[in-house]
Structures are given as structure tokens and as C-alpha cells.
Amino acid sequence: MLVMENVSYVFRGGSGVTDLNFEVAVGEIVALVGLNGAGKTTLMRLALGMLRPQSGTIRVFDHPLHEVPSAQWSQVGALIERPAAYPELTVRENLRIACLLRDGDPGIVEAALKVWGLGSVATRRFRRLSSGNRQRVGLAAALQHEPRLIVLDEPSSALDPASVILLREQLVHRANDGSAILVSSHHLDEVARIADRVLLMNRGQLIGQLDHTGVDIERAFFERIRADDEEREIMGEQ
């Protein structure tokens, strides 16, 4: 569903990502974890064609990124950094537009409002929503059309505990129906509950998988990051 092979993208300041190699299969939830600035958002923007790799190959639905048919892009659901919405339109209007942009049936909007508990604010302008409700609108827009590939950047940001549980249930449900899911998060315990694999990212590179079945996943996370930092320092001195 999503494959990256030797993908690099470096910004002028030197930050970015290098030599990314991974894939997300049908029905799989892959979590991406790392410190702030590790490159998680850049990786996701590359996966969605928001950035074009300077080297390497990205394949989506078994097509090279630049050859993915528009009809198949409509089968992607994404939320990157912040919800994309028209501030002066209502919640219902924003969900309807998101649906039409993905060639979906507008009839699904009412179901999405119900699933995400947005019925009470359906007629409220997006700009007047709380940050938690804005995030729920973004998630509803990304998932309401039942996408085959889902890419979510820190989706639990600003959500209350009940909404976090709802998000978890929705992602597991989508994966069970065959969707491929790539999700980044700072909440290690949360992604450990649902992920099939947890990929660890540091300084723009994927440095392996994190064992998310252990008792103290947070300690394992920081130990892997520290070890990678020390190894880079040693290599830099040589």
C-alpha cells in the first residue's frame, strides 16, 4: 500500500530525512515515534506527495508516487499537522466538501457527525470550535470515506480521553477492514496498544523497530535514542 525505498529529502538548513526504507501493508497499523524534529512529519508529507523525494522511490497502491491515478488518491485519508478546513464554513459544510473532494457519497457526512460526536456543533463555524473539536473534525474528514490508506500525524493531539479511545477503536476497525495505516505519535503507550509495528526515528533516519510488548516502552525508547546519538558522535569523530 505504501513503500519507501532509499528516500531522502534534505532542506536548505540541513534538516530533513535520509535513506528511508519501510513499507505499510494491507491491514497493518505502523506507528512512527521519535523526538520533536526527528523528521516524522517530513516523512508523512513525502508519503502523500506534498514533498517530492530528492532521491529514492515512493510507491502508493503499487504505483510510483508521480503516477498514482487521481481516483486512487481519493482512497487516501490524511491529517497532517493541523486539520485542513474552511474557517467560515460550518462543521457539516466542511465534512461535505471533504467528502466531495474524495468522490464520496455526501450521505456519509451525517454518519461521520454521529461517530465523532459532532452533532451538537454541526452548524457551528469551524473557527469557533475548541481545539479538540477541530481535531475531531479533521479526523472525521480523513476517515469518513473509508480510505484504503490512512496517514495521520499526531492524531490524538488536543483530544480528550474519550476521543482518544474512539480514535483507537476507529483505527483498529479500519485495519480489520483492510486499510493500511501509518500514524505518528508522542504517546508511546497509546500506539503500543494498537500498532503491529513501531518504527523509531531519530535525526531524520529510521533506526529500527521498538519492542512495544515490553513493560517499559518509554525507557526502551529513550535508551535507543541515546545509543543512536552516541554512535553518531563516535562516527563523527572518526
Q: What is the average pLDDT score of the chain?
A: 94
Q: How confident is the model at residue 189 (pLDDT cuts 50, 70, 90)?
A: confident
Distance of CA 190 to the CA centre of its chain: 14
> How much is the pLDDT for 216?
83
d(CA 155, CA 142): 11
3-state secondary structure of 52: coil
Instruction: Give the mean pLDDT of 204-223.
Output: 88
pLDDT in tens, 21-50: 999 999 999 999 999 999 999 999 999 999
Domain boundaries along the sequence of the chain: 1-75+155-238, 82-146
pLDDT of residue 104: 87
Q: Is 76 helix (H, G, I), strand (E, B) or coil?
A: strand
Determine the residue type at 162.
A
| Least confident among 67-81, 116-130, 167-181, 207-221 | 207-221
Give the model confidence (pLDDT) of 130-179 as tens digits.
Answer: 999 999 999 999 999 999 999 999 999 899 999 999 999 999 999 999 99
* Contact assessment for residue 45 and residue 229, using Cβ atoms and an 8 Å cutoff: no
Q: What angle do CA 15, 28, 45 make, to 5 degrees?
A: 25
Residue 238 has pLDDT above 80, yes or no: no
Mean pLDDT of all residues in 67-81: 94
pLDDT at position 211: 85
Distance of CA 161 to the CA centre of its chain: 19
Q: What is the pLDDT of residue 114?
A: 97
Distances (CA, A) of 120 to 91, 113, 215: 10, 9, 40
> Per-residue pLDDT averaged across 96-113, rounded?
93
Q: How far apart are CA 224 and CA 89, in angstroms?
A: 45
User: What mean pLDDT do residues 110-129 have?
Assistant: 97
| Helices 91-101 + 131-143 axis angle, to 10 | 30
Written as nine digits, the cell of 145 is: 470515506
Query: Mean per-residue pLDDT for 2-11?
Result: 97
Q: Among residues 62, 61, 19, 28, which one has the least CA distance to residue 182?
A: 28
| DSSP 8-state symbol, 188 | H
* Res. 73 pLDDT band, cuts 50 70 90: very high
pTM confidence score: 0.94
23 phi and psi, to 5 degrees? -145, 160
Q: Are 18 and 205 within 8 A, CB to CB?
A: yes
Strands ordered across the beta sheet of 29-33: 76-79, 149-153, 180-184, 29-33, 197-202, 205-209
* pLDDT at site 169: 96
Burial of 210 (0-12, 13-18, 19+ CB in 10 A): buried
What does the pLDDT read at residue 212? 79
**CATH (residue range 1-75+155-238):** 3.40.50.300
